[in-house]
Structure 1
Amino acid sequence: MQVRNATLSDVTAIVEMSRKFYATTTYSGWADFNAETVHDLASNLAENHLMLVADDGAKLIGMVGLFVAPFMFNGDVTAAYEVVWWVDPSEQGQGAGKALLAAIEPACRAKGCKAIQMVHLSTSPPQAASIYERVGYRHTESSFTRVLGP
């Protein structure tokens, strides 16, 4: 298994992995998955930001994507903001998630980032937060969503 930068030829597989990931989130309860939107997002991340994939030689088994952008309180500082970090459940426990997480820092440093912000969803595996903390991330904020009716 290797972690590498995603290419545009990976986008179709990224969309399918995203479909599987999305079904596990609370977001799927109020907005349908839109493959075209995800295709455009994955293409943008691969071309202009940061999109890494875990490749077992036969197929993609995981991904991590981050926007690289100015920090909102100081435009002179660049940071990376996670969009997705996911490994196929059938492949979990074999190191792909940890390898993807480890690859983020050097890739973000190469893009001039001073900080990386990862997300912990209410549906994230409970061990995700402890993994973040174990590798040096600190809890900085939580978010809450209110779905507005029609």
Structure 2
Amino acid sequence: MTGLLVRRAAPTDFAAVARLTVAAYEADGQLKGEHGYGAVLADVAVRTEHGEVLVAVDETGGDVLGAVTFVLPGSRYAELCGPGEAEFRMLAVDPAAQGRGAGEALVRACVARATELGCSAVVICVRGGFAPAAQRLYERLGFVRTPERDWSPLAGVELLGLRLDLTRA
């Protein structure tokens, strides 16, 4: 993870974030029959109005390598988080930059932000059968499956709930 900086996205980053997010979801096959979700992923300006969009940037070249949206309960993009919890959504790493630690750096930044805000947990959902590398990362970082939080926004799209307890030392 050396050579990476995680910071809030600036308006000048929005085009790169939109491009890499859609590219990452397409590369994983998650936008087949997606019913407009690509447009949601690409609308970075709206995401910043309802959460914190963080970017992982290559410190030497300044390229945006990945992005994630961090949200709290009651925000437009919150799907699973309840009182005292935080959530992150739309984690994506440019397919050309995968394997450089950007995804892990973004997850760790979300966990740090949740801790800073006094949250008791971070929750996320992942699409069943997709992005196995991301699912291995979440497991390695301590996220645990919470089947009671599984849900389906559309027929054929099964989302699995995961939770990281921040109260454990």
Band the TM-score falls in, shorter-chain normalisation: 0.7 to 0.9
Q: Which whole-Å CA distance do the structure 2 matches of 1:125 and 1:73 have between them?
A: 19
Q: Which whole-Å CA distance do the structure 2 matches of 1:101 and 1:79 have between them?
A: 15
**1:146 partner letter:** A
Q: Gaps (5+ residues) in structure 1?
A: none
1:13 CA displacement? 1.4
Query: Secondary structure of the equivalent of 1:85?
Result: strand
- Correspondence 1:59-138 to 2 at 5 A: 59-70=63-74, 77-138=83-144
Aligned pair count reads: 144
Seen in structure 2, the aligned counterparts of structure 1 residues 30 and 78 have a Cα distance that, compared at 3 Å, is same
Q: Gaps (5+ residues) in structure 2?
A: 157-169
Seen in structure 2, the aligned counterparts of structure 1 residues 34 and 55 have a Cα distance that, compared at 3 Å, is same
Aligned partners of 1:62 and 1:88 also within 8 Å: yes
TM-score of the superposed pair, with normalisation by structure 1: 0.76
Query: Secondary structure of the equivalent of 2:53?
Result: strand
CA deviation digits over 1:90-117, x for unaligned, max 9?
2111111111111111112233433211
Query: Counterpart of 2:62?
Result: 58
Q: Which whole-Å CA distance do the structure 2 matches of 1:134 and 1:17 have between them?
A: 24
Query: Counterpart of 1:146?
Result: 155
Q: How much is the aligned-residue C-alpha RMSD, in angstroms?
A: 2.9
Seen in structure 2, the aligned counterparts of structure 1 residues 25 and 119 have a Cα distance that, compared at 3 Å, is farther
